[in-house]
Structure 1
Amino acid sequence: MAPTAPVVIQGGMGVAVSSWQLAREVALTGQMGVISGTAMDAVLSRRLQDGDPGGHLRRALAAFPDADMAARVMDKYFIEGGREPGTPYKPIPKLTLTTNRAGQELGVVANFAEVWLAKEGHDGAVGINCLEKVQMATPTALLGAVLADVDYVLMGAGIPREIPRLLTEISAGRPGRITADVAGGSITRFIEVDPVDLLGDSLPTMRRPDFLAIVSIDLLANYLYRDPEIRPDGFVVEGPVAGGHSAPPRGKMQLDDAGEPIYGPRDDANLAKVAELGLPFWLAGAYGTPEKVEEALSLGATGVQVGTLFALSLDSGITHATREAMLQELREDRLEVRNDPRASPTGFPFKVASLEDTASQEEVYQARPRLCDLSYLRTPYEREDGEVGYRCPAEPVHMYLKKGGAEEATQGRKCLCNGLMANIGLGQERKDGYAETRLVTLGQDLTGARELITSYVQGWSAREAVGWLLSRVPAARLRTVQFA
């Protein structure tokens, strides 16, 4: 851990909502900027097909240690001047337990590019956030991030017990693997990445980043801490109001009158017990004001992780129209975020902002043809013949049932993959004219955002959000960024 650890961690949100631009702005303040490590292969391929405005991706790819691999990605996806409006984006290789070579290369290059751009020209701290549930993307995503000298890896949405060893192995240039969760599996299967096989003589010396496990309760933190093999370098302790996915309530799921999960005292982490472990920890979920930052520090935390303030900032990857719609609802005190227990194919509750012309509206959701083409949330299952198949509760119901899934599991499921891509202006446009609709996620605690909108009526920058959050923190707790 750095001698002066960041007080503020900017949340790793959505698909490229926590973009390299946002992460870089936060890192330049001396705090931790975080890029999303989810679906970066699709993000890179689509940005290249849109002509790479500004040339940023081409600059990053020129720095990739294996020029031939970067050239293969460029040749496949880059379109000078961008694709014609209405033209569908090219498909990319789907993730499997053994993703093909082209898919692995795209994942490595994409995550390298996003981290490299976030770190360009300074020594501020940059992290990458991945979801444990998106296992099939993890090894290649982390290899790409480590190649770009990422400082931190953050992971939640599951129990990330194998990530410390994976980081140790790939940082040393050795093959790394994690155990695959295969429904009904009778044998143990793995998802692997081999740095030498992929990069050969181009593989540089790499540095192992610190790993922060995102947990919801102290029991999980204690479990991960007890064994040095799976022990992280620190924790982010996240409450249920945080944006995106959250842990389900402990015990039997119960819903309130609005159809949202009910959380109780059993779902609150005992912070004193987390502090006793002796590792740095940050608090997340309803810690997005200067007063809550001060409170977190008084409880022994190293700092806080904040998402919503940065998702709404002028530097995030959300499209201008979507951001403005949310800011307008903030100005009018009408912005609402629902914790939907059914939306995510993962089965984890998922926060959905209630906005017009998005999949938060039932009629918009019902109008979307069910299909699963990006497939990041597909789960592997063992077929009767012993081979592995893949299914997603948000795919066409008849296909899910044919693969042995239960019809009840499909009800209310939304395609997060395509909805989150649409949030950042990279939604698919299909040959039949259908354009993917948005599905916006935020945290449910809007206290900080409501306060900031009174001071920054037209919206705030990431640096302004950081300055506000740190306004009660002693200067001695803050680090200074050095420029390259």
Structure 2
Amino acid sequence: MISSLGTQPTSSLPIVIQGGMGIAVSSWQLAREVSLAGQLGVVSGTALDGVLARTLQDGDPGGHRRRALAHFPSPDIAQRVIDTYFLPNGRGRGKPYRPHPTLTISPSRAAIELSLAANFAEVWLAKQGHDGVVGINMLEKVQTANASAILGAMLAGVDYVIMGAGVPREIPRLLTEFAAGRTGRLTIDVAAASKTHRAELDPVDYLGADLPVLRRPKFLAIVSLHVLATYLNRDPETRPDGFVVEGPRAGGHSAPPRGKMTLDDEGEPIYGDKDVADLAKIGELGLPFWLAGAYATPEKVAEARASGAAGVQIGTLFAMASESGLLPALRNRLVAELEAETLVVRNDPRASPTGFPFKIAELGDTLADEARYEARERICDLGYLRTPTERADGSIVYRCASEPVHMYLRKGGDEAETQGRKCLCNALMANIGLGQVRRNGYVEQPAVTLGQDLEGARALSRRHPDGWTARQAIDWLLGGQRRRELVGAAAASMW
């Protein structure tokens, strides 16, 4: 597998990659707008099976998901999903969502079909009405969901797969196998494993004669250090088509500091020089790269380009854009606190059950309020961040440090690992208006993730005090860049 991006002129690559944020915060509407503006629009590939199941149960407002499913290659799979979850009049006020099957190492057929349909629908919708490029962002940590999510996205013609939160060494091969219509395999990290565990997915088994010819998307690996980039690049089997080099101030999950973790007076991880990627060494690999984390101003875009980067990946500006999947009330509060200069984003080293530090906006009336979170009953019913664990008898159990403590202990977990952990799966669903309603009437509460660099967002809010669109963000970011390129091209033509 030889990378084609490595030989592609930088000028033909997108300058801005819109980040893949949260669960459906990077919605198909947002990705489509960014692609319409000529940049790389990205949908979040995390938990889209749950998003589709719950959206259908809410009556599929606007009919968008059913419109997309009408184009799914297998009409039978699409109809089974609709028959299972679609409620024409919605589920009714105060009614809980019907659970959907979780994706395990050996998932049920229904779980795979839902994942295929959901990821297809999100990418298909993002690609309508333009000929731009669309990507899907995934977490390597959510290993049991990645094969079906990627295949579903490829069925819709996704152009880029972007993955972080781990070492995505097997994804290039997976993309190649799926593009050839062959079985894709991923090694699953299993705690206390006595043997290697793999998940397999055969496209022919699920699509049969309905399987279309698939095109292999480009793969961008998210890395925090040149060491990982060098490791992935050394073997054609693991080599991506490019890198997103993410600094510690980027939103969502971020790599922990190298060495022993030290916290500052606010309880946040302290990063040092060892946590900064050597861009010269990454440039020497010969693959295009984009910089992420504190690059959300026109000046920083220009700086990134001057360093040899193809461009930047930006999340926070787009999370606050009007097309993002965040509930409008949450987005309005973020913008208001941004303008009042009271918005604080904390890098919580304990919140995520994955063990990765996780950025949370300190908004009142959300789970950022410790007392509010402590009042929530611990429950793990979505399970995207669970860790597969092998028992003494060889069977597999799935545990999460955010689940009820007694259940975690029963599965062999350490009680110390449960302290400070938050249920991100349910909170991120609540961010987009799909929070579960419990039997006792409790409605799952949001927890908003953003990057810690707010300089660009503050500057943009001064230009657009009532909020902004994705296109306005791109025009602001690239206005100076485009002027410089036009001037450069005019000067070159004079010679």
TM-score by length of 1: 0.98
Quote the residue 1:481 is aligned against. none
Pairing of 1:82-231 with structure 2 (within 5 A): 82-231=90-239
Match of 2:482 among 452, 470, 474: 474
State whether structure 2 residue 290 is matched by structure 1 residue 317.
no
Give the letter aligned to residue 74 of structure 1: I
Quote the residue 1:20 is aligned against. 28
Rounded to whole Å, the distance in 2 between the matches of 1:273 and 1:472 is 28
Match of 1:329 among 327, 330, 337: 337
Rounded to whole Å, the distance in 2 between the matches of 1:62 and 1:363 is 45
Indicate conservation of the 8 Å contact 1:150/1:209, yes or no. yes
SS at match of 1:236: strand
CA deviations 1:241-263 (Å, max 9, x no partner) are: 00000000000011001000000
How far residue 122 of structure 1 moved from its aligned partner, in angstroms, is 1.2
Match of 1:379 among 374, 387, 398: 387
Query: Using CA pairs below 8 Å that are at least 6 residues apart, which structure has the higher relative contact order?
Result: 1
Give the letter aligned to residue 40 of structure 2: M
How far residue 475 of structure 1 moved from its aligned partner, in angstroms, is 6.2
Quote the residue 2:44 is aligned against. 36
Quote the residue 1:442 is aligned against. 450
How far residue 77 of structure 1 moved from its aligned partner, in angstroms, is 0.3
Residue correspondences, number: 478
Quote the residue 1:482 is aligned against. none
Give the letter aligned to residue 358 of structure 1: T
Rounded to whole Å, the distance in 2 between the matches of 1:186 and 1:309 is 45
SS at match of 1:305: strand
How far residue 51 of structure 1 moved from its aligned partner, in angstroms, is 0.6
Give 5+ residue unaligned stretches, structure 2: 487-495
CA deviations 1:13-64 (Å, max 9, x no partner) are: 0000000000000000000000000000000011101111111111100000
How far residue 477 of structure 1 moved from its aligned partner, in angstroms, is 6.6
Quote the residue 2:491 is aligned against. none
Match of 1:359 among 361, 367, 375: 367
Give the letter aligned to residue 192 of structure 1: E
Quote the residue 2:70 is aligned against. 62
Indicate conservation of the 8 Å contact 1:146/1:209, yes or no. yes
Rounded to whole Å, the distance in 1 between the matches of 2:41 and 2:19 is 8
Rounded to whole Å, the distance in 2 between the matches of 1:319 and 1:308 is 15
Give the letter aligned to residue 424 of structure 1: I
SS at match of 1:177: strand
Quote the residue 2:271 is aligned against. 263
CA deviations 1:342-378 (Å, max 9, x no partner) are: 0000000000000011111011110110010000011
Rounded to whole Å, the distance in 2 between the matches of 1:425 and 1:124 is 29
How far residue 121 of structure 1 moved from its aligned partner, in angstroms, is 2.0
Indicate conservation of the 8 Å contact 1:241/1:444, yes or no. yes
Give the letter aligned to residue 413 of structure 2: G
Rounded to whole Å, the distance in 2 between the matches of 1:85 and 1:418 is 19
SS at match of 2:78: helix
Give the letter aligned to residue 289 of structure 1: T
Rounded to whole Å, the distance in 2 between the matches of 1:112 and 1:424 is 19
State whether structure 2 residue 53 is matched by structure 1 residue 74.
no
Quote the residue 1:50 is aligned against. 58
Pairing of 1:405-444 with structure 2 (within 5 A): 405-444=413-452
Rounded to whole Å, the distance in 2 between the matches of 1:265 and 1:241 is 14
Quote the residue 2:410 is aligned against. 402
Give the letter aligned to residue 186 of structure 1: S
Rounded to whole Å, the distance in 2 between the matches of 1:370 and 1:56 is 34
SS at match of 1:472: helix
How far residue 474 of structure 1 moved from its aligned partner, in angstroms, is 3.2
Quote the residue 1:455 is aligned against. 463
SS at match of 2:481: coil
Quote the residue 2:354 is aligned against. 346
SS at match of 1:474: helix
Give the letter aligned to residue 426 of structure 1: L
CA deviations 1:306-330 (Å, max 9, x no partner) are: 0000001111000011001111101
SS at match of 1:73: helix
Give 5+ residue unaligned stretches, structure 1: 479-484
Rounded to whole Å, the distance in 2 between the matches of 1:413 and 1:18 is 24
- Name the Cα RMSD after superposition: 1.0
Where do 4+ consecutive residues of structure 1 move more than 6 Å? 475-478
TM-score by length of 2: 0.96
Rounded to whole Å, the distance in 1 between the matches of 2:478 and 2:48 is 31
Moved more, 466-475 or 124-133: 466-475
What percentage of aligned pairs have identical amino acids? 67
SS at match of 1:473: helix
Rounded to whole Å, the distance in 2 between the matches of 1:38 and 1:99 is 17
Rounded to whole Å, the distance in 1 between the matches of 2:403 and 2:126 is 34
Rounded to whole Å, the distance in 2 between the matches of 1:300 and 1:409 is 41
Rounded to whole Å, the distance in 1 between the matches of 2:485 and 2:243 is 19
Pairing of 1:290-309 with structure 2 (within 5 A): 290-309=298-317
Indicate conservation of the 8 Å contact 1:73/1:106, yes or no. yes
Rounded to whole Å, the distance in 1 between the matches of 2:211 and 2:407 is 42
SS at match of 2:417: helix
Rounded to whole Å, the distance in 1 between the matches of 2:350 and 2:152 is 32
Quote the residue 1:249 is aligned against. 257
Rounded to whole Å, the distance in 1 between the matches of 2:352 and 2:20 is 17
How far residue 81 of structure 1 moved from its aligned partner, in angstroms, is 2.2
Rounded to whole Å, the distance in 2 between the matches of 1:160 and 1:89 is 33
Match of 2:283 among 252, 275, 284: 275
Indicate conservation of the 8 Å contact 1:7/1:477, yes or no. no
SS at match of 1:374: coil
Give the letter aligned to residue 161 of structure 2: V
